Amino acid sequence: MSEGGMLAIDGSRETGQDVRTQNMMAAVSIANIVKSSLGPVGLDKMLVDNVGDVTITNDGATILKLLDVEHPAGKVLCELADLQDQEVGDGTTSVVILAAELLKRGNELVKQRIHPTSIISGYRLALKEAVRYIKKTLTIPMSKLERSNLVMAAKTSMNSKIIGPESDHFAEIAVSAMQNVRTERPDGSVRYPLKAVNIIKAHGRSSRESVLVDGYAINCTRAAQGMPTSISNAKIALLDFNLARHKLKLGVQVLVKDPRELEALQQRELDITKEKIQTILKSGANVILCSKGIDDVCLKYFVEAGAIAVRRVPKDDLRRIAKATGGELVLTMADADGADEEFDPSWLGSAGEVSEERLGDGEIIYIKECVKTAAQTVVLRGANEYFLDEVERSLHDSLCIIKRALETNTLVAGGGAVETALSVHLEDYASTLGTREQLAIVEFAQALLVIPRTLATNAAQDATELVARLRAKHAVSQQDPAQGEGMQYSGLDLVAGKVVNCFEYGIVEPAISKVKSLRFATEAAVTILRIDDSIKLNPREEPQ
C-alpha cells in the first residue's frame, strides 16, 4: 500500500507537489555545494573518494563529477555541468546555480496555483528574449580580436581559480598556445583544436616557471641509454604492436633430431626479428614511438642504427602525434595476404627535431616543428600533485574560453553585468505582455540576479547593496541610452567592492559562454519542472 492508493505495480508512487518540492530541494542542495566556489574569491572543495584519493578543486564540473548523487533530479544538474564543460569549457558553476534558482522560483509559482505549462512557456519566452538582447545590445563585437582582449578573457576565467594571482603569466601562455594551433579547414573555416595543446605536469620549481614549448611533448624516456638524445630532421614511425623477439606460434610443434638444428632454429628467430627491424629502419625511420613494449633484442638494433626508440607511449598521444606530423598509426606490418612484412615510407611522420630533455625528476621527449599542424605543449611546474592537477583544470578552462572567443569573435562583460542587464530588461519586457506568462518571466528575471548576488556574498561584500547599485546603473543605461553610455557593461569589482565598467576593467567572457549557459540552465529547469509523478519500483527478489 503506498500514498497513491493500491498500486498494480510493485513500488511506491509520489505525485504532484511532493515530487516538485523534493526535486527542487535536491537541485538546491547540489547548487549550494558549488555556490561558494563561484567568482574571483571563490573557495575550493576537497573531495575524498571511496578509495581515499583526494581532489582539491573549485571547478564546478569536476566537483559534480566526483559526487555520487543518488537523487534523479540531482543527476540532471550534474549532467548539466558536464554538458557545459564539453560545450563551452567554463561557467560550469554558474549554470548549476542558475538552473537551481529557476527551479526554486518555478516551484513557488506552482504553489501559487499557476500551471507548470504556463511557467515553462514563460521561461522559454524569457530565454528567447534574453538571447536576442545579449546579441543585440550586450555583445562587444571584435572584428579582429585583439590579443589584449583574449588575454583579458583568459584572465577573467583564471581569476576564480587557484592560479588567479599568477594570471598574467598563465594568460599569456594560454593565448599564445591557442593562437599557435590555428588550423584552416579545407572549406575555408578556421579552427583552434584544443587537443593540439598538450599539458604536462612536472613536480618542483614554482608555478611561475611553467613554460610554453613549441611542439608536442610526451612524458616518456628513451628506451636505452645508448641512443642519441636528439635527432634533427626526424622521420617518425608510430607503431601499435609489440616489438619483441619473434617466437613460433602457439601449437606449432617442431621435432628436432640434432641439437645443432635447435641453434639454427633460435638463430632464425633472431634473424626474423632483425629483418623486421631493418624493414622499419630502411624506410628512413630514425624515431620509433611504440605503444607497447620493445625488448632488448630489438633495442640492440635501434642503438646500432643510432635511432631513438620510445616504448609504452600512450595511444592518445600517438594519435595526436600522427595528426601533427602527418604520420600514420601502424597496427601491423603484414601486407594484405599476410605473407611479406613491409614498411611503407609514406607511413612516417616528419618533424624538425625530436629530443629528450630533463625536466624535474624525469625526462620528456619533445617533438618540435611538426609538419602538418602546429602542436603546443604547456609544461606546468608546481609544488605538489593536487596543486598541479588544479592548475591543469584551470588552464583547460581558459584554453576553452580563448578557443570560443577566437571562433565566435564576440565578447560580453563579466562580473555579473550580463545577468543584471537581462534582469532589468526582462522585468520591463514582462510588463508589456498581457498573458499569463508574465509572472514566469518576472521570476526568470529575478532568478538571474542570483549570479551577482552569489559573487558579492563570496567576496564578503554587502550583496544587497551592491546588486541594488548595479541594477540602478543598468536601469539608467536602458531607459536613457545617451546618458548611460557604456553603463550596459557595468559589473562588480569584487576586490574593491564597487560597481565598475567591466569592459574597461578587462573582465570579459565570450558571448557564447553566456548564451549557452542560459540555454542549458533553462532546459534543465524545464526538464525537472515538467515532472509531476515519481514512481519507484522495488528491486526484484530473486527466488532462492
For residue 102, what pLDDT is reported?
93
**pLDDT by residue, tens only, the chain of 544 residues:** 445 455 577 788 888 788 888 888 999 999 999 998 888 878 888 999 888 888 888 888 888 888 888 888 888 888 888 888 888 888 888 999 999 999 999 999 998 988 889 999 999 999 999 999 998 888 887 765 678 888 888 888 888 888 878 888 899 999 998 888 888 878 878 888 888 888 888 888 888 888 888 888 888 888 888 888 888 888 888 888 888 777 777 777 778 888 887 888 888 878 888 888 888 888 888 888 888 888 888 888 888 888 888 889 888 888 888 888 888 888 877 765 555 677 888 888 888 888 888 877 778 888 888 877 778 888 888 888 888 888 898 898 889 888 888 888 888 888 889 999 999 999 999 998 888 889 999 999 999 999 999 989 988 888 899 999 999 988 888 888 777 677 888 888 888 888 888 888 888 888 888 999 999 999 999 999 888 888 888 887 777 7
Q: How far is CA 235 from CA 327, 438, 471, in A?
A: 9, 67, 62
How many Cβ atoms sit within 10 Å of the Cβ of residue 363? 14
Measured CA distances, 457 to 35, 37, 301, 494, 508 (Å): 10, 11, 66, 10, 21
pLDDT per position as a tens digit, 428-472 = 999 988 888 899 999 999 999 999 999 899 888 888 999 999 999
User: Per-residue pLDDT tens for 335-373?
Assistant: 655 556 778 888 888 888 888 888 777 788 888 888 777
CATH of domain 11-141+413-537: 1.10.560.10
Q: Which of 92, 325, 454, 457 is catalytic?
A: 92
Of the candidates 230, 227, 172, 195, the one whose C-alpha atom is nearest the C-alpha of residue 400 is 195
Residue 380: partners with Cβ closer than 8 Å, 6 or more residues away:
199, 200, 201, 202, 207, 210, 388, 391, 392, 395
- Angle between helix 417-431 and 463-479 (nearest 10): 60
Q: In angstroms, what is the C-alpha Rg of the chain?
A: 30
Quick one: pLDDT at residue 433? 87
What is the C-alpha to C-alpha distance for residues 370 and 374, in angstroms, rounded to an integer?
A: 6
Burial code of 142-161, b = ≥16 C-beta within 10 A, e = fewer? beebeeebbbbbbbbbbbbb
Q: Which of 55, 57, 62, 93 is catalytic?
A: 93
Indicate if 139 belongs to the active site. Answer: no
Identical fold between 11-141+413-537 and 216-373: no
What 3-state DSSP class applies to 140? strand
C-alpha cell belonging to residue 292: 607497447
Instruction: Give the C-alpha separation, 462 to 459, whole Å.
Output: 9
All three cell numbers of 94: 554558474
Other CB atoms within a 10 A radius of the CB of residue 346 amount to: 9
The answer to whether 59 is a known catalytic residue is: yes
For residue 199, give the nearest of 245, 163, 148 by alpha carbon: 163
Confidence at residue 1, expressed as pLDDT on a 0 to 100 scale: 45
Residue 225: all three cell numbers together: 641509454
Distance CA 357, CA 375 (A): 18
- 259: Cα separation from own chain's centroid: 62
| Strands of 302-433, DSSP E | 308-310, 329-330, 349-359, 362-370, 376-382, 410-413
* 360 Cβ contact partners less than 8 Å away, ≥ 6 residues apart: 202, 203, 204, 205, 381
- What is the predicted pLDDT for the residue at 145? 63
pLDDT for res 2: 45
Terminal CA-CA length for the chain: 25
What are the two backbone dihedrals, phi and then psi, of residue 179, each rounded to the nearest 5 degrees?
Answer: -70, -30
In the residue annotation, 68 being an active-site residue is answered as: no
CATH architecture of 216-373: 3-Layer(bba) Sandwich (3.50)
Q: How many Å apart are CA 76 and CA 100, to the nearest integer?
A: 11
Closest CA to 413 of 153, 209, 213, 43: 153
Residue of 85, 317, 397, 493 with catalytic role: 397
Cα 390 to chain centroid distance, Å, stands at 13
- The H or E element containing residue 253 is none
User: d(Cα 283, Cα 152) in Å, to the nearest integer?
Assistant: 48
Fill in the DSSP letter of residue 6.
S
Q: At what angle do helices 385-408 and 167-180 cross, to 10 degrees?
A: 50
The distance between the two most distant Cα atoms of the chain, rounded to a whole number of Å, is: 104
Q: Are 349 and 317 in contact (CB under 8 A)?
A: no
Predicted TM-score (pTM) of the model is 0.82
What is residue 100's predicted lDDT score, i.e. its pLDDT?
A: 93
Gap between the Cα atoms of 96 and 506, Å rounded: 25
- Specify whether the CB–CB gap between 504 and 392 falls below 8 A: no
What is the residue type of 479?
Q
Between strands 54-57 and 45-48, the pairing is antiparallel
- pLDDT on residue 522: 93
* 137 tagged catalytic: no
Residue 274 in 3-state DSSP?
Answer: helix
Q: Among 59, 85, 90, 389, which one carries the catalytic annotation?
A: 59
- Which helix (H) or strand (E) segment holds residue 483: the answer is none
Domain range annotation of the chain: 11-141+413-537, 216-373
Q: pLDDT (tens digit, 9 = 90+) per residue, 263-293?
A: 888 888 788 888 888 888 888 888 888 888 8
- In whole angstroms, what is the distance from residue 456 CA to residue 450 CA? 10
